[in-house]
Amino acid sequence: MTADNMRNLKKEIIAYFLLTVGSALFAIGDVMFVNPYLMAPGGTYGLSNVFNTLWPWKISFYAICMDVPLLIIGTWILGPKFGIKTIVSTILIFVFTFLLESSWGYNPVIHDGAISATGSAPMVPIPHDGGWFTPDYFLNTVLAGLIYGVAIGLIFRSGATSGGSDIISMILHKYTRISLGTLVMVVDGIITLSTLVAFGDIRLPIYSILIIFIEGKVINLVIDGMKSYRTMFIITDDPEPIRDFIINGLKRGGTCITGSGLYKGNERKMVYVTLDRSDMLRLRAALHNIDPHAFVNILESSEILGTGFRALPTE
C-alpha cells in the first residue's frame, strides 16, 4: 500500500470515528435533554419529539420514517447530492436513538429538585417515565445546545452533509430560488413552533430557538476551532514599514496590491493580510506609529485555507 493510500485510509478511519461519535452524541442530546422537556429544535428529530409525546411511538421510528423518504425524494429531485456518509449518519443516529430510548426511556437528566412520582412542584410539572419532575429549562437548554452543536459539528467534520428536513429546504430552494439559509430557518421555525401548537406553552419554542442558536455557535467552534481570524486591508502611501512589521515583527506574510484612488486618481498601495486576533491587535496598534494616515478595513474571516492556515480540502 502506497503512502497516499495509507493517508487516505487514516483519514477515512478518523472520519467514520467522528461520524460515529457525533451520531451517538446527537442521540444523547435528543433523548436525554430535548425530548423530556418537550422541545423541538428543528429537523426530523425535533418533529419526532412532538409526535412521540402526542402519540407515543419511538422517536427513532418517527424519524426514520421521515428521513428515508426524504433522502429518496431528495436524490430523485436534486440528484445524487447525498454521499455514503450522510446515509451512514442517518442509520447510526437511528440506531443510537433506538438503543437509548429503549434502555434509558425519556427521563430527564437536568431537573430542579428531586424527581418524584407523587411529589408536587411549584412550576407546572411535565410527565415522564418516572412520574413528574420540575423542569430546569435554562440549564437543560444550554447543555442540549452544547451537545447538539458538538454532535453536528463532528458529523460535518466527518464529511457527512445534513439531511432530514434540510432536504425540504433544498427542494423549495430549487423551485422558489429563495435563499437556502432563509428556507432552512423557515422550515426549522415551523417545526419549532409546533411545540406551541401541540402543548400550548410559549416557553417551548423560545427555548428551542435558544438551542438552535447555541448549537450554531458550537458547530462553528468544532469545525473551525477556537482561532478567530481577521483580514485587514490597509491602504497606505508607504507600504514598506508595514511590510517590515508584518514579516519581521509578526512572522506572517501578506499581499501588496497596487490601486488608484477614486477621488484624485493617485496611485495607492493596499496591504492585504490575514491574522489571528492577537496579531491583528498588534498590527492595528503599531499602525498608529507606522502610518497614522493609513486607511484600514478589518473583516472577520470565517474560513481561511492555504499555507499557514488550514490545508485545502482534498475533495
pTM: 0.75
Per-residue pLDDT tens for 17-62? 999 999 999 999 999 999 989 999 988 999 999 999 889 899 999 9
Give the orientation angle of helix 166-176 with respect to helix 180-199, to 10 degrees.
130
> How far is the C-alpha of 84 from the C-alpha of 107, rounded, in Å?
33
- pLDDT band (50, 70, 90) for residue 226: low
Give Cα separations from 128 to 52, 109, 133, 251 (angstroms): 12, 11, 8, 58
Does an H or E element contain 152, and which?
helix 137-157
With cell 435563499, the residue in question is: 179
Task: Give the model confidence (pLDDT) of 250-308 as tens digits.
Answer: 888 888 888 887 777 778 888 999 888 888 888 888 888 898 888 899 888 766 766 66
Tell me the three cell numbers of residue 276: 489571528
What domains, with CATH codes, occur in the chain?
A: 3-224 (no CATH), 229-301 (3.30.70.120)
